[in-house]
Amino acid sequence: MSTDFSDFEKKVGIVFKDKDLLRTAFTHRSYLNENRKSGMEHNERLEFLGDAVLELIVTEYLFAKYPEKNEGDLTSYRSALVNAVTLAGVAEGLGMNEHLLLSRGETKDTGRARQVILANAIEAYIGALYLDQGYEATKLFVSKYVFKLVDDIVSKKTWLDAKSHFQEKAQEVVGVTPSYETVKQIGPDHDKHFTVAVFLGKERVAEGSGKSKQEAEQSAAKAGLEAKGWE
């Protein structure tokens, strides 16, 4: 964890005029809780700005690239491109992990929690870059590291959530719309756990579980795709 970002600047080929902006983009709120006298800011305001700038750049690109696609498809493509999983992957590929300023507790976090922190950091970086060097420079950065993922997302249909994907495949292959049934729910109201089965007609294809019915249905659909070899 270093406050020197020159390695990162070399890696992405962009040198910031305002180094404080760059440092702020990498500063998580938790770091300031342990370093109250640092006089630094955390990255949430930059993240707010970067989120909007990224969405505009991606929207503009998709609008031009897919003139035949409707609003629904374009919205799905954009969601897949700017979601936490995709952005965290981009951030990791750029080595942002090594430069994040985090509390000791957050440093140990992995999995989903770290994904969200990384996704927020790259949005904050985009916000900082926009302020430091303007829209065109930010667009160049996004086109270099984000646009290249579009073809893969569209061809592999990863823009479809599991439930939509399972329904599309079920209708295409067997001509049936899947149905879902809650088979179990346990736990108190504030901490319920649901198990849902997915059916094709009378055939019980798979089960999935989650902390909400929607989450359990997505999990069941994912298991259904695997069970049928439709991934």
State the burial class of residue 36 (Cβ atoms within 10 Å of its Cβ: 0-12, 13-18, 19+). Answer: exposed
Within a 10 A sphere around the Cβ of 148, how many other Cβ atoms? Answer: 10
Q: Options 3.40.50.300, 3.40.50.150, 1.20.140.10, 1.10.1520.10; which CATH number does 6-155 get?
A: 1.10.1520.10
CA atoms within 13 A on the CB side of 156: 9
The residues spanned by each domain of the chain are 6-155, 162-228
Residue 3: predicted pLDDT: 63
Domain 162-228 sits in CATH at 3.30.160.20
> For the residues 22-34, what does the mean pLDDT come to?
89
Q: Which residues pair with 186 in a beta bridge?
A: 193
Q: Is residue 111 within 8 Å of residue 117, measured between CB atoms?
A: no
E strand or H helix at 185:
strand 179-186
Residue type, 156: K
Residue 110: predicted pLDDT: 60
In this structure, of 1-10, 22-31, 80-89, the range with the lowest mean pLDDT score is 1-10
C-alpha distances in Å from residue 231, one per residue of 61, 210, 212: 28, 20, 23
* Active site positions, annotated: 51, 123
Q: What is the pLDDT of residues 127-139, one digit of tens each?
A: 999 999 999 999 9
Q: What is the pLDDT of residues 147-200, one digit of tens each?
A: 999 988 888 776 677 888 888 899 999 999 999 999 999 988 777 889 999 999
Q: What is the pLDDT of residues 61-104, one digit of tens each?
A: 999 999 999 998 898 899 889 988 889 999 999 999 889 988 87
Q: What is the pLDDT of residues 206-222, one digit of tens each?
A: 999 888 888 888 889 98
Residue 72: predicted pLDDT: 83
Q: Is the pLDDT of residue 2 over 60?
A: no
| Phi-psi region at 95: left, alpha or beta (left = phi > 0; alpha = psi -120 to 50) | left
Q: Is the pLDDT of residue 54 over 90?
A: yes
Q: Is the pLDDT of residue 107 over 70?
A: no
